[in-house]
Amino acid sequence: MGETADAVIIGGGCMGASVAYHLARLGVTRSVLLEREAALGTGSTGRNAGGVRHQFSSEANVRLSIESIRLIRRFAEEVGGDVDFHQHGYLFLLDTPESVARFDAQAAMQRRLGVPTERLSPAEAAGLAPGLNTDGVLAASFCAEDGIADPHGVTHGFASAARRMGVEIRCGVEATGIDVERGRVAAVRTTAGTIAAPVVVNAAGPHAGRIGAMAGLDVPVTPQRRHIFIAEPSERGAWSQPPLQVPASRILVIDVETTFYFHREGAGVLFGMADPEERPGFDLTVNWPVLERIYDVALRRLPALGDAGIAHAWAGLYEMSPDGMPFIGPDPRLPGFHLIAGFSGHGFQHSPAAGRVLADLITGRDPGLDVGPFSIDRLQRAGAASERNVI
């Protein structure tokens, strides 16, 4: 007889680790978490900027943020491990009347849910982020409860707690196929053998489409390369005096129209921006010409970057869904197959709540929120909410 488990989770990033942890808390401890790389969190989880925010356009995403940030704040006490959480806020710069109106409407929704989002003047925004050039900015949206956390700390904290409760974590083991019998999931084939299980969780991030295809399903998740750069000043103390300053706090500043963003990272500044010329794919090499296009915006918004060298650069993959919303829940096309993918750049920050929601759904519990916006069949429904604040 082959190996059996109550659940097999494919993907050892923050999302898979969160599902494993939350299932174990509900008594599903005979789970196996598979990660094809040699260590957990080395894919998209380990290549993101670590931001966590409430400022989303979709109410469903804001609700995930509220729960996730609440747990991240208490992570050491409730899960275990240091996640280096700093609540210094997200500052969105708005330079068109349309974006001001849109963010005002979103802020009203966020405040209704208890999130203290506020509109700031350009001068107030500049006061929060010394060195920021607000030329052309009409207003800003700020939430002091947004911040930065450590993706590795969250992933390994969930994984360690899950392991203590009996979950088996296997790195260097890749899923190679999914067996279907009598119209439902039966087993996962791997490079180390076959595991029979009535529940399979697709937590494979940008590879979720490939895992879905193993089960004969179209899971519309597209990999999209994004770059992150870390700049350092040309000499010690060069960024401490105006006008070439950078914020001393870790406030995360986003120029909405261009998607350029930055935040302090140790002695340096981490920054990035979406490249409109980028095409879907799994290429993780750094495309250096992108940096030239980013600098056109970067030097305008944060002039101190003109006095900087690039200390580090890397590329990671966003797992894009067609509408910017994630898929969380059972796939109605195949009993036993569950999705937690397509977070479109905000997976890390939603992993605490998303993993809890999926664990509740798998075990037949009421997740306590409307999961309709996260179902895969929403794509066939007219009027389903999309997420507009994909950065």
Domain co-membership, 164 together with 292: no
Domain co-membership, 199 together with 342: yes
Q: What CATH number is given to the structural domain containing 234?
A: 3.30.9.10
Residues of the chain with pLDDT under 50: 1
Range of the domain at 40: 3-50+151-221+322-380
Asked whether residue 83 is domain-assigned, the answer is no
Asked whether residue 355 is domain-assigned, the answer is yes
Q: Are 151 and 348 in contact (CB under 8 A)?
A: yes
Give the pLDDT score at 383: 77
Q: Percent helix, strand, coil in the chain (nearest 5)?
A: 30, 25, 40
Give the pLDDT score at 374: 98
Closest by CA to 324, choosing from 300, 342, 307, is 342
In this structure, the dihedral spanned by the alpha carbons of residues 110, 112, 118 and 119, taken in order and rounded to 10 degrees, is: 90
Complete DSSP assignment for 95-161: -SHHHHHHHHHHHHHHHHTT--EEEE-HHHHHHHSTT---TT--EEEEETT-EE--HHHHHHHHHHH
Domain co-membership, 204 together with 269: no
Domain co-membership, 294 together with 172: no
Domain co-membership, 336 together with 353: yes
How many CA atoms lie less than 13 Å away from 341 in the CB half-sphere?
Answer: 32
Domain co-membership, 268 together with 332: no
Domain co-membership, 347 together with 368: yes
Domain co-membership, 312 together with 362: no
Give the pLDDT score at 384: 80
End-to-end CA distance of the chain: 48
Domain co-membership, 286 together with 236: yes
Give the pLDDT score at 89: 98
Domain co-membership, 288 together with 342: no
Total domains present in the chain: 2
Domain co-membership, 339 together with 264: no
Domain co-membership, 237 together with 308: yes
